[in-house]
Structure 1
Amino acid sequence: MWSHQNLQLMLCTALSCVSSAAGLILVFGYEGRDVMVSCPYDPGYERYQKYLCNSSCGYSDFLIRSSQENKTKYSVYDDKTTRVVTVTISDLHFDDAGKYWCGVTRAGKDIYTEVQLEVKADRCCDTVNQTQSTEEGSVTISCPYDSQSVNKLKFFCRGNRPSTCLQQAVITSSNTQDGRFRLSDDRKSGLFTVTISSLTLKDSGSYLCGVQRNSGFDVFTAVELEVKEWCCAKSKNMSGVMERSVTFQCPYAPQHHNDTMFLCKGDGASNCTDMMGQSRFVLSNVSSSSFSVTVTKLEAGDAGTYWCGSGPEANVGNFTRFHLSVDATLHQLPHPAFYALFALAAGLLLMVTLVLVKVYKNKCHKTLRERKVSR
């Protein structure tokens, strides 16, 4: 009489084992991550032992049983309410890919369900789209998808790990606005776009556009974003003195010669205040590649950060940043009344000096006369 072990070996090594399986379960996982193999079973088998095996499902091919304690690589949970036994395989490797069997032990023939596991590298992608923008500006990233994914969930995450992208998504097509991120889906063109506003240098890095699939691996495209610093093209420090003038020299790209020339003040170029309308700010020396702006009668409040350039678009190469400091105490020009007072004091001092000289001369002459008389 065949033992249960021998009978099981015979069944699992025969081709009929596959054809008599209850179904096929496809499982997809990423290298280095965990994957859960969930196998449903029929009513009446709640108290029966379940297991996961591979190869021919011989005794040595058993990976874990529901009656066993969890192992380092394999753990099992039998939910008798939903009648689903779940085996978690940890720290996947490429050689873990292949065919497995979910089994239910019973008298006679065990019940088998075939499991096919596919393992993929947890990185993306062979092609990476490069895009650039500048801090405090915005960028729009385009993410194409095929016609079969029109109604699928779209999502966008930071990094290049597909295994965690959906869980860590910064925005999805079911939540199209979240802070600085906005997602738009143009189903006719098969393209969804993600716009990131108020960019900072920390926004530089890798991103993934994802489309969820009902079965199999989700589909991704990779983007590398570089956020450039406003000041990295041209930045200058300037100093001025109260009541005097200072001149900004503003170079710009020749193609913007016919565009509006500007000088604005503020910490950021995207939200600075236009200064060209003020009478103390005078445009001059306009050429095909530069212009000047002279600020007359400097005030203490003129100190700060200025931006100048020409053209409607904020490109790093077309802007110059200035840091202006104004000396409000040293070298301050005297008030005109000071000159009048100084002249009056100088005149009085001269008069007193002349009187003293005259008195001294008279005294000297008198002394000489008295000496002559005494002789």
Structure 2
Amino acid sequence: MISTDARIMLEATLPVVAAHIDEITANFYPRMFDEHPELLSDLFNRANQKSGSQSAVLAGSIAAFARLQLEYDEATQRDIIERIANKHASLGIVADQYPIVHKHLFAAIVEVLGDAVTPEVAAAWDELYWEMANVLIGREKELYEQSGVASGEVWRTATITERDQVAPDAVSFTLASTDGRPLPDFVPGQYVSVQVRLDDGARQIRQYSLTGRVGAPTWRFSVKLDGEVSTWLHEHAFDGDELAVSSPFGDLTLPDGDGPLVLASAGIGCTPMIGVLHHLVATGDTRPVQVMHADRSRARQPHRGELGRLVAQLPDATLYQWYEHGVSAEPTTRIGLIDLADVPVDPAATALVCGPTGFMSSVRDALVDRSLPAERIQFEAFGGTR
């Protein structure tokens, strides 16, 4: 926890910093990449850098963590830390990289805010940064230990054994280890990072949810044709080729216990739900499950047949689907955007939601309106930069 003096100073200065946080992060990234160009080419998602979405995520995380020091909310802080720490672990981030971020972030703060950054202000925000950094470093160390790897040593080479077309614009890859041993187990809903060398020499990394069965010797994930890494995989990755992949990480996972589940997804956001459903089927799970999926059309829906088969194998599961275009052929299939007005939702359920930001926001609001507590709604965003 930060000191009382730092908390007082944060409370006084947070409105000013928050008002300029977008400008600060926009200043920070070019500074850091000028000194460390390898971070942009080989670690950070350069598509997100170009669009500005990475700056927005960093700004939001810093501001949210600062507010939590003033009005502490353990659940919210845990959610923030879990999401960031899992992403960092999937990239192989290590403690030595945090001082690099600190150096350039604080240089950006000073440049943007100028004389407003007194020694007292600088000390308070420095304390906040290292409070957040040390919490993340500690959690990332735990994640590495749970995965059985040394800090940052998450990468392995795997061989593509099967490539399947699961939608007109999505392919599924099955991977096996190069030494014949089973690939490590994972928690249903987790993802792996995939690193590819693009034509310009950059080694870019993206994350893809595991859609196979826990306990299988292989891993499987699906890739929609959308973004430079996904395009490279569609055009260059085939049976017999090797890929650099990380250990599995991710916090949108099957909750413990036997309480009811809501699995809501849109488009390729169905992939973590496919992994969860495979596990439920394989273990003979009997809990109530509501699966809700939205897509543009049946023809373009990834894993459409697989999703239906998995739901049909569960004793207490219902599948609801929404298509923007087409004709409704089944009682639980609707035409239009997702609408939960006539869908029964158990207030005791835990919801996993994955898809574009607008979809997730709409589903969250609808579930809260149906008396599902916000703290039992978990998210993972799938964007167009994969």
Could you tell me the TM-score, scaled by structure 2's length? 0.17
Of structures 1 and 2, the larger Rg is shown by 1
Counting helix residues as a fraction of each chain, which structure ranks higher? 2
Larger RCO (alpha carbons 8 Å, 6+ apart):
2
